[in-house]
Structure 1
Amino acid sequence: MARTESTGSTWRYRWAQRQNVRRVSTYRGAETAWRRRDDELRRLRALAADFEGSAAAGAGLPLELVDDEVVLWALPAAQLVEVRHTTVLPAPDLTVAASAAPLRPRRPDGVRVTDAGMAVITSRRLVLLGGRGRRDWAYGRMTGLAHDPAAPVTLIQVLDRRRASGLLLPTDAAADFRFKLTLAFADAIEQRAAVLAQLDELIAEHDQLKPFRPAVATPAQARLSSFVPGGRRTIAVAAGIALLVPAALFDSNPSDPTGGAEVAAAATPGSPPGAPPALLRPAVPAPARTTAPKRTSAPRPSSTATTGPRCGAPENPLGYDFCGGTRIRKPAAEVCDWFDCVPQFWAGRGYLVQCRDGSVSLTGGRAGACADHRGVRRTISQ
């Protein structure tokens, strides 16, 4: 029986099954990462709203509290570090953004450990109750505060000390320590509301990045290029080889071991009859006319580039993302293999955009773009 190319073809069903498995796997991975970050932001928001201390929390600590001072948090394992050289730290701020990379349990260069003990955050100061004594950092005297982005070290500058000092903490406790120190400092300068507003903004921005459940791929969406391993690239390479091989066979004559040198010698005026081809000098071509070099545009990025953040876009080998850049008016033919295209996608006359229901349309910049899909959400760029 002859093979048909209808939607009932077996290869089309296999293509749809592979696409659906890949889409679901990609979606679940993105959703897990998104939900982990969402849970962390909401945990910090709840902690910031209910972060309170009490004088009873300091009972049993060898620390004398002043009037209306309360203990907010205590960590029994901390090390006192001091900077070997004079440095200037940035002014304290209320940033609560999470570190981009996980912290490593190491001590930065130029920092030495001088004591160890318990770190205590109160409503007025940060205190280390060490084996060699007590070290205080009063919030009202802080002039600089810096958290190392790669190590669990926090350095502080105060008015009455020339060199910066701080704490080296366990990696699993560093994030909570930094956040609670920020809350305590914000309370001291009466700016708790600014921290809450910042967390609300981060949660709202993160909600916009929630991945959409992908649409189900159907056999009717399969292209003929999907039937060939490698798709359109394999077809293009095969076509190029098909054109080059006949040309190479035409230029070469396997029955002539001299490669046509004798014929060229016979056609050269003044050449001695019977002279071997090796003794004949090849004709020197006339010098080519020099022309100004053509101006070429900058090379376009490769369609297989996948490096860099995609800002919530699904993983794809086309280099398309939501980060903002060059608008895409002529998308790659396989764009619907990686994004959920709207019906009649190729009838669009605009640039590539994502609609609010998660589908992708080619009507960006035109009136009524994504009209049947709750409007335009954001632009897809390259």
Structure 2
Amino acid sequence: MAKTDSTGSTWRYRWAHRQNVRRVSTFRGAETAWRRRDDELRRLRALAADFQGSAAAGAGLPLELAGDEVVLWALPAAQLVEVRHTPVLPAPDLAVAPPSGPLRPRRPDGVRVTDAGMAVITSRRLVLLGGRGRRDWAYGRMTGLSHDPAAPVTLIQVLDRRRTSGLMLPTDAAADFRFKLTLAFADAIEQRPAVLAQLDELIAEHAQLKPFRPAAATPAQARLSARVPGGRRTVAVAAAVALLVPAALVESDPSDPTGGAEVAVAATPAPSPSPGVAPVLVRPAVSAPAPRTSPKPTKAPRPSPTASRDPRCGAPDNPLGYDFCGGTRIRRPATEVCDWFDCTPEFWAGRGYLVQCRDGSVSLTGGRSNACAEHRGVRRTFGK
């Protein structure tokens, strides 16, 4: 008869209930992150298809436009920045991938603010209408363009200016500014279709990453380790202690008065005799101590604790073949990984490789700056 609690439910049913709650929570977190990214990519695709300006949009601005020049976008809160040490910036490209992390409202080292005003993107140039004057960056004269991945700063190099300069915008407007500047530059070089094709490819790749609803856990899948407080981790620690304690006792066995010397001498082969000379058997002396002038016998090698170490190098027992012994990093774990390991709440939303956090949970954020941030950091990396 199965052991039951006061509510009448067996421990297997309680285990299945906890597993299903955790799986559903993990799936919903991953699905929310996936939908957020999908909505952003589709918004950018629609914006890229309909992005255009008009001469009327520049009405009221203290900016003289050329005959075929139109205003595409304007932001009243922008700062002009300059770099003390001029770097070599990469050439402008048409990359439209959103930033990997949130931007911080800070000014990078070596960058100083020299003016503030309104940033205007036109079909021919980027303009800052500042309090000290106007600063232009014509698309046709751009030689370098760089967006800071951690700060809302965009640096630009042009042919007719020696010092590198650019704009610093509010963090909530930086991503929109960068995308629209890329569209304006693409129009200037007649490459708008390339931007649309890139967005279509990103949407198709992201559709393949849509998380699947996990299968429901059944009471029959519960293991006996679920009845132990701490689960598989407690069983693994107990097994390791059970293997290491006998090895430690063998190393410190006080019942061997010879300290293993007799075994060592008996195991040491005698030198090969010369031809024609009968071999002499050497019997180790046990009762009489060896003279002080004789060489000290070599002790037998002590058993190493690592000989009895788990072949998975401390990883829990699992049929997936995952261990801590090195090997190839696991970036696409099996769908049943959370059946064998204690996954973090938003496991499937991770974009890295499989790691174990310091609190024992398993995360898919290896290789990222925020890996296991809410679980005391990364402890070990899984391999296969």
TM-score using structure 1 length = 0.67
SS of residue matched to 1:69: coil
| Letter matched to residue 132 of structure 2 | R
Could you tell me which residue of structure 1 aligns to residue 209 of structure 2? 209
Could you tell me which residue of structure 1 aligns to residue 114 of structure 2? 114
Distance 1:246 1:156 in 2: 68
2:228/2:234 contact within 8 Å kept = yes
SS of residue matched to 1:214: coil
Could you tell me which residue of structure 1 aligns to residue 136 of structure 2? 136
Give ranges in structure 2 of 5+ residues lacking alignment. 260-285, 302-306, 343-381
Distance 1:54 1:218, change over 3 A: same
Over aligned residues, Cα RMSD in angstroms?
4.0
SS of residue matched to 1:134: strand
**Cα drift, residue 319 of structure 1:** 7.5
Larger CA deviation: 229-238 vs 173-182: 229-238
SS of residue matched to 1:56: helix
Distance 2:2 2:109 in 1: 73
Could you tell me which residue of structure 2 aligns to residue 303 of structure 1? 315
2:11/2:227 contact within 8 Å kept = yes
2:127/2:135 contact within 8 Å kept = yes
Could you tell me which residue of structure 1 aligns to residue 79 of structure 2? 79
Distance 2:32 2:208 in 1: 15
SS of residue matched to 2:66: coil
2:45/2:196 contact within 8 Å kept = yes
1:91/1:144 contact within 8 Å kept = yes
Q: Which has the higher contact order (CA 8 A, sep 6+)?
A: 2
**Cα drift, residue 224 of structure 1:** 2.2
| Letter matched to residue 111 of structure 1 | V
Could you tell me which residue of structure 1 aligns to residue 48 of structure 2? 48
Could you tell me which residue of structure 1 aligns to residue 298 of structure 2? 287
Distance 1:158 1:70, change over 3 A: same
SS of residue matched to 2:143: strand
Distance 1:319 1:207 in 2: 30
C-alpha distance after superposition, 1:35-82 (max 9, x if no partner): 111111111111000001000000000001101110000000001111
SS of residue matched to 2:137: strand
| Letter matched to residue 167 of structure 1 | L
| Letter matched to residue 116 of structure 2 | A
2:103/2:149 contact within 8 Å kept = yes
SS of residue matched to 1:204: helix
Distance 2:258 2:109 in 1: 77
Distance 2:144 2:252 in 1: 78
1:86/1:163 contact within 8 Å kept = yes
Give ranges in structure 1 of 5+ residues lacking alignment. 254-258, 271-280, 291-295, 305-315, 340-379
2:161 is aligned with 1:161: yes
2:322/2:383 contact within 8 Å kept = no
1:19/1:337 contact within 8 Å kept = no
**Cα drift, residue 325 of structure 1:** 5.1
2:73/2:122 contact within 8 Å kept = yes
Could you tell me which residue of structure 1 aligns to residue 65 of structure 2? 65
1:83/1:112 contact within 8 Å kept = yes
Could you tell me which residue of structure 2 aligns to residue 150 of structure 1? 150
Distance 1:269 1:289, change over 3 A: closer
SS of residue matched to 2:118: strand
